[in-house]
Structure 1
Amino acid sequence: MSKKIVVVNAGPRKGWNTDTLITEAAKGAESKGAEIIRFDLFRLERYTGCISCFGCKREKNKGRCVCKDGLTPVLDAIRTADGLIIGSPNYLSEPTASFRALYERLIFQSLTYNVENPCCNQNVIPVLFVMTSNAPDTMYSGLVQNYQQTLERFVGPTKTLISGDTLQLKDYSKTDWQWTMFDPESKQKRHETVFPQEMKKAFEMGAEMV
């Protein structure tokens, strides 16, 4: 039986950095025979982050978020998956609000508040967390490490891939404002030389997951 890998895009821009890297990771998993189930969070029905209803803390709902909305099929799929690939661009030094909404509900449903057994997740699976940013990747190693540690504690062994200094626009000269913070030529060069290497790495990490 083929393994089922859930792929989640927590970025809004189709065909750009985050989308490209998680797609490559999915291709890597597929190359090893995995079945891919993909969700684009910005294209789902309306949803929220955790509403602190504590429904998941009742014995009958143990480990299961009871809030029913656009994230329900995502959480249900992850609960029975063999692996999770999730990617988000960095917005204002954090993953997107869409990522955070899923992250809150994914983690909190397994948090027991019990010292002896703090996590009730019964489906421990490997995770690949991808983050992209227009800033250098060195700025976010600590941030990504924090998410990695929590994902490892409540979902499963987690690997990370950070892609920094990414290309944001095809032509920076066509912006209405003067984006003097960036060097468009340097951005383009990196996109043509380094980003393909990151795509290759994402493919390999997706394959390794399977």
Structure 2
Amino acid sequence: MSKKIVVVNGGPRKGWNTDTLLTEAAKGAEAVGAEIIRFDLFRLEKYTGCISCFGCKREKFKGHCICRDGLTPVLDAIREADGLVLGAPIYLSEFTASFRALYERLIFQNLTYTKEQPCCNEHMIPALLVMTSNAPQEMYQGLMDNYQRTMNSFVGPTKVLISADTLQLKDYNSTDWKWTIFDPEKKKKRHETVFPEECKKAFEMGKELCS
């Protein structure tokens, strides 16, 4: 029986960095026979982050977010999956608000507030967390370490892929933009040389999810 891998894109831009890396990870999983279930958060029905209703803390709903909205099918799919690929770009030193909404509800539903069993998730699965940013990688290592620790505890063993100093535009020299802090040629060169290697790494990490 093929494994089911859920892929969740927390970025809005189709065909760009985050979308491309997640697609490569999905292709890697597919290459070893996995079934891919993909969600693009910016294209779902309306949803919110955690509303602190504490419904998931009641015994009969334990481990299940009871808020019903556009994120419900995503959370349900993750609960039945054999692996998870999550990714989003960094906006103002954090993941996108769309990603954070999912993250809050994914983690909080399994947090018990008990010393004896802090996590009630009985279906831990391997995960890959993909981050993209136009800023240098060293700015986000601590952030990603925190995400990895939390996901290790509440989702399953998590690996991280960081793609930093990314290309944001096809033409930084357009008269529409006055972004003088960037070196357009350096950005383009990195996209042509380093980013393809990151895509290969994403492909291999996708395969590893199924091993």
TM-score, normalising length: structure 1: 0.99
For residue 159 of structure 1, what is the amino acid of its counterpart?
K
Match of 2:35 in 1: 35
Gaps of 5+ in 2: none
Task: Calculate the aligned-residue CA RMSD, in Å.
Answer: 0.6
1:70 and 2:90 are equivalent in the alignment: no
**Equivalent residue pairs, number:** 210
Distance in 2 between residues matched to 1:7 and 1:95, nearest whole Å: 16
**SS at 2:135 equivalent:** coil
Q: In the alignment, residue 129 of structure 2 is paired with which amino acid?
A: F
- Letter of the 1:93 partner, please give it: S
1:95-144 deviation line (CA, Å, top 9, x unaligned): 00001000000000000001010000011000100000000112111101
State the Cα distance separating 1:177 from its structure 2 match. Answer: 3.9
Deviation digits for residues 1-57 of structure 1, max 9, x if unmatched? Answer: 100000000000000000000100000000010000000000000000000000001
SS in 2 for 1:68: coil
- CA distance in 2 between partners of 1:97 and 1:3 (Å): 29
Secondary structure at 2:49 match in 1: coil
Residue of structure 1 equivalent to 2:94: 94
Q: State yes or no: 1:109 paired with 2:109.
A: yes
Amino acid at match of 1:88: A
Correspondence for 1:181: 181
Report the CA distance shift for 1:31/1:91 in structure 2 as closer, same or farther (over 3 A).
same
Change (3 A) 1:47 1:175: farther
Shift of 1:175: 4.8
Task: Map 1:1-210; keep pairs closer than 5 Å.
Answer: 1-210=1-210
Alignment TM-score, normalising by the size of structure 2 = 0.98
